[in-house]
Amino acid sequence: MKIISLLIFTILFVKSHQKIREIYYYNLSLIANEKFINESKLSIQCEINIRKNPCIYAPTIMVVLKQDINRVYAQIKAKDVNSNKIILDQLLNICMFESQTLDLLIKVVLDLLKNHLSFPIKCPFKKGKYETYAFKQDYGVFVNLFPINQPQRYTALIKAKIGKKLEAIVNLSLDFEIVENE
């Protein structure tokens, strides 16, 4: 009986002291081109967001387009903040997004976002309000794509094709780190 009790205690002790991988976001920035955007906002839906107690919700984004935009592109980049090593650099044609070969990281992020958008990801984007909803992050695969305790910078430059030119609409930047907490 003592052996069984000791085994159960050991299992419970180890289970209660397992480290949990979480995402800590900081240095959030959203710069909107006033030619295309009436209003914009980027925020975290928690009062407390520190490395030891990161917010459990993904950042939310809201933009209000002044005009219809027929062709939209996104230049997605991720890099290690300490070494400046580029982890990802891909230009996406949002209008043809379903038929593109996507990097695994982009696939994971888009899968996470799909159910938390106020709009479908398709062209054209009509004049009006577009936002992501606050949602509890399902860490799953995402936290395993990055090293622990190494700051990463994610940027998304959203562009509109106007004539033959690509013009910046929104520049989103945020730093994040995968942290292990008990």
38 lies in some domain: yes
- Both structure tokens of 98: 């379903």
**141 pLDDT more than 80:** no
Distance CA 24, CA 49 (A): 7
**54 pLDDT more than 90:** no
**133 pLDDT more than 90:** no
14 lies in some domain: no
100 lies in some domain: yes
15 lies in some domain: no
The SS3 of residue 32 is strand
CATH number at residue 152: 2.70.50
Task: Give the pLDDT score at 31.
Answer: 95
Report pTM: 0.76
Distance CA 25, CA 22 (A): 10
Task: Give the pLDDT score at 6.
Answer: 41
Q: Which whole number is the average pLDDT over 13-27?
A: 69
Task: Give the pLDDT score at 155.
Answer: 92
Q: Which whole number is the average pLDDT over 67-77?
A: 91
The DSSP bridge partners found for residue 20 are 181
> What is the rounded average pLDDT for all residues in the chain?
81
The domain total for the chain is: 1
165 dihedral zone (left: phi>0; alpha: psi -120 to 50; beta)? beta
28 lies in some domain: yes
53 lies in some domain: yes
Burial class from Cβ neighbours inside 10 Å (0-12, 13-18, 19+) for residue 176 reads: buried
12 lies in some domain: no
Structural domain that includes position 159: 22-181
Flag the least confident range among 42-46, 92-96, 114-118, 172-176: 114-118
Task: Give the pLDDT score at 30.
Answer: 93
DSSP state of 85: -
Q: How confident is the model at residue 93 (pLDDT cuts 50, 70, 90)?
A: confident
162 lies in some domain: yes
